[in-house]
Amino acid sequence: MTADVGQGRLAQVISPLLTEHPGKSGVIPLVDAREAFAARVLLARQAEVRLDVQYYIWRHDITGTLLFEELHAAAERGVKVRLLLDDHNTAGLDVTLIGLHQHPNIEVRLFNPLRVRRPRFLNYLFDFRRVNRRMHNKAFIVDEQVVISGGRNIGDEYFGATSDVLFADLDALLIGSVVAHVVNDFERYWQSESAVPLERLFTLTKPQDLSTLQAIAKRYEQDPRAQDYVQAIESLPFIQQLQQQQIDIYWAETQLVSDSPAKALGRAQPQQLVTHQLQQAIGEPQSHVTLVSPYFVPTKAGVDELVAMAKRGVQIIVLTNSLAATDVAVVHAGYAKWRKRLLQHGIQLFELQRLSAKARRQQRRERRQRLKGKERFGSSASSLHAKTFMVDLARVFIGSLNFDPRSAAINTELGFVMHSRELAARLETAIITTLPQYAYQLRLIKNRVIWVERLGSSRRTLYYSEPDASIWRRLAVRILERLPIERLL
């Protein structure tokens, strides 16, 4: 830790808490989408020395523009800003990124960049083996004192600022001993061979003037579409609670698990991979596993392992997206083929429903009335994006890792293992409370998969095929199930 960051406002607020909990890290789950955005804005405004920011996706929309402007505003105050983005999703951002990069206090690098800027698809035709590997990590590091990390990328759909797709997601705000490990992890990615400075890529691109970025952000703040959202951010109790240290913090032994950046080059050793580190940190489940993953592709080896656990008496609950809710139907095919076998061995499967516009309006009304269980996974979620699991009601993982071959073998990932019964109990309760209201439970009736929807305390509706999915979408999944594509999912 550099001396100047250790003397700042955040350090002065956090240091007494760390003295009370030596060797542990403080964890604040960010369940509510608006609070997750507000936390980033607030912390960016508190930064005095350094902002290190690492993401897989950064949308050029309302929240993406507002957060770009927060980085710019911090740089104007003298804060050193380093922004590391995976290049797969930066289409349309080149002029903005080079504009930010030209600020004397901002440096931008792209991870595993596409060599052909336009048309981008040519990279996948001629360089697929390399560009198929992506940096899926998410980290927002402020003055080497606070980290926000988890499942959320930067974009309206992740922060509840859009009326289209809204992702049920989960981040954590972390302080304490684990932060230094995240700082070091960011540094090794920043200095890696795959992180390329913009001046080596954009030799002919005219930068966007940062006054233009500032004006666009100001216009978004005044836009009627965003006005209610921006006002809600300003008035959330979370802001005051964080400022006044009046928010629940879970203190726990916390371990960072992170792939080596060499994984993006196909050079990582087994011990440098998240999968190996997770196994070491979590250990062998003894009684309970609750797994939440939007893209659940267990593969034969994974199914064999889950079945073996179930035979040992481990209770296993899996929550993933339904076919109607998922945004990647091809991935659903890698899960659907295993449902029957998992159910045959007593593994409980739940699939998040896709909420209709009418249902989302009803949910928002109920949310305002603060009915029990209606705000467990954030704002009006219509698609699951959280990546978390609980083991033996004692250990919790929160991070970017999906339960699929891509996360295990292709993309780089980052996450945290927290040893906390209190945190595990909170998240387990939130999930179990959510399941009956927003998820189908899958059952086997006469060896056929059935979807059960609960309606109130006693009513049940049974579906004998994928609910709310068109016949063409269902047919496509049935075809894809038979193709040897699991390793790409």
Quick check: is 248 in a domain? Answer: no
More confident residue, 376 or 124: 124
| Residue range 70-91: mean pLDDT, rounded | 96
| Model confidence at 334: pLDDT above 90 | yes
| Model confidence at 363: pLDDT above 60 | no
Residue position matching structure tokens 């770009």: 68
Confidence of residue 205 (pLDDT cuts 50, 70, 90): low
Confidence of residue 484 (pLDDT cuts 50, 70, 90): confident
| Residue range 44-51: mean pLDDT, rounded | 95
- Whether 326 and 470 map to the same domain: the answer is yes
More confident residue, 383 or 351: 351
Quick check: is 72 in a domain? Answer: yes
- Whether 153 and 46 map to the same domain: the answer is yes
User: Do 403 and 296 meet the contact criterion of CB atoms below 8 Å apart?
Assistant: yes
Quick check: is 464 in a domain? Answer: yes
- Whether 274 and 365 map to the same domain: the answer is yes
* Encoded amino acid at 55, one letter: Y
| Catalytic residue check, 392 | yes
Tell me which of 24, 337, 374, 385 is the catalytic residue. Answer: 385
- Whether 231 and 283 map to the same domain: the answer is no
Q: What is the pLDDT of residues 219-275, one digit of tens each?
A: 888 877 677 667 767 777 776 776 677 888 999 999 999 999 999 999 999 999 999
Final residue belonging to a domain, choices 243, 276, 299? 243
Q: What is the DSSP string of 277-332?
A: HHHHHH---SSEEEEE-SS---HHHHHHHHHHHHHTT-EEEEEEE-TTT-S-HHHH
Residue 220: predicted pLDDT: 85
Using CB atoms within 10 Å of the CB of residue 150, give its burial: 0 to 12 exposed, 13 to 18 middle, 19+ buried. buried
Confidence of residue 379 (pLDDT cuts 50, 70, 90): very low
| Model confidence at 372: pLDDT above 60 | no
- Whether 55 and 168 map to the same domain: the answer is yes
Distance CA 355, CA 269 (A): 42
| Residue range 360-368: mean pLDDT, rounded | 47
| Model confidence at 371: pLDDT above 60 | no
| Model confidence at 129: pLDDT above 80 | yes
Residue 164: predicted pLDDT: 64
User: In the chain, what percentage of residues exceed pLDDT 90?
Assistant: 64
Quick check: is 249 in a domain? Answer: no
What's the whole-model pTM score? 0.92
Distance CA 373, CA 165 (A): 21
Final residue belonging to a domain, choices 214, 243, 272? 243
User: Do 72 and 95 meet the contact criterion of CB atoms below 8 Å apart?
Assistant: no
Final residue belonging to a domain, choices 243, 267, 289? 243
Count of CB atoms within 10 A of residue 311's CB?
10
Residue 370: predicted pLDDT: 35
Tell me which of 24, 136, 332, 337 is the catalytic residue. Answer: 136
- Whether 229 and 311 map to the same domain: the answer is no
| Catalytic residue check, 138 | yes
User: Do 147 and 423 meet the contact criterion of CB atoms below 8 Å apart?
Assistant: no
Quick check: is 25 in a domain? Answer: yes
Confidence of residue 383 (pLDDT cuts 50, 70, 90): confident
Residue 445: predicted pLDDT: 94
Confidence of residue 380 (pLDDT cuts 50, 70, 90): very low
- Whether 168 and 269 map to the same domain: the answer is no
Q: What is the pLDDT of residues 273-291, one digit of tens each?
A: 999 999 999 999 999 999 9
For the chain, what is the largest distance between any 2 Cα atoms, rounded to a whole number of angstroms?
Answer: 67
| Residue range 162-181: mean pLDDT, rounded | 87
Mean pLDDT is lowest, of 133-137, 214-218, 402-406, for 214-218
Confidence of residue 208 (pLDDT cuts 50, 70, 90): confident
The tally of domains found in the chain comes to 2
Tell me which of 60, 392, 419, 468 is the catalytic residue. Answer: 392
- Which CATH number covers residue 32? 3.30.870.10
| Catalytic residue check, 181 | no
| Model confidence at 403: pLDDT above 50 | yes
| Catalytic residue check, 387 | yes
Q: What is the pLDDT of residues 438-475, one digit of tens each?
A: 899 999 999 999 999 987 667 889 999 999 999 999 99
Tell me which of 24, 138, 263, 337 is the catalytic residue. Answer: 138
Distance CA 184, CA 5 (A): 15
| Residue range 348-353: mean pLDDT, rounded | 95
Give the up-direction half-sphere exposure of residue 67: CA atoms within 13 A in the CB hemisphere: 26
Quick check: is 285 in a domain? Answer: yes
Residue 204: predicted pLDDT: 56
- Whether 96 and 210 map to the same domain: the answer is yes
* Encoded amino acid at 58, one letter: W
Q: Under the phi-then-psi rule, with left for phi > 0, alpha for psi from -120 to 50, and beta for the rest, what region is 181?
A: alpha
Tell me which of 86, 143, 156, 169 is the catalytic residue. Answer: 143
Could you tell me which of 327, 266, 330, 275 has the C-alpha nearest to residue 301?
275
Q: What is the pLDDT of residues 444-453, one digit of tens each?
A: 999 999 999 9
Average pLDDT over the chain reads: 88
| Model confidence at 314: pLDDT above 50 | yes
Quick check: is 250 in a domain? Answer: no
- Whether 315 and 226 map to the same domain: the answer is no
| Residue range 52-80: mean pLDDT, rounded | 96
Instruction: Supply the range of the domain harboring residue 153.
Output: 5-243
More confident residue, 1 or 482: 482
Residue 228: predicted pLDDT: 66
More confident residue, 42 or 350: 350
Quick check: is 13 in a domain? Answer: yes
User: Do 88 and 187 meet the contact criterion of CB atoms below 8 Å apart?
Assistant: no
- Whether 124 and 151 map to the same domain: the answer is yes
- Whether 350 and 202 map to the same domain: the answer is no
| Residue range 78-85: mean pLDDT, rounded | 98
More confident residue, 6 or 121: 121
More confident residue, 170 or 240: 170
| Model confidence at 49: pLDDT above 50 | yes
- Whether 237 and 373 map to the same domain: the answer is no
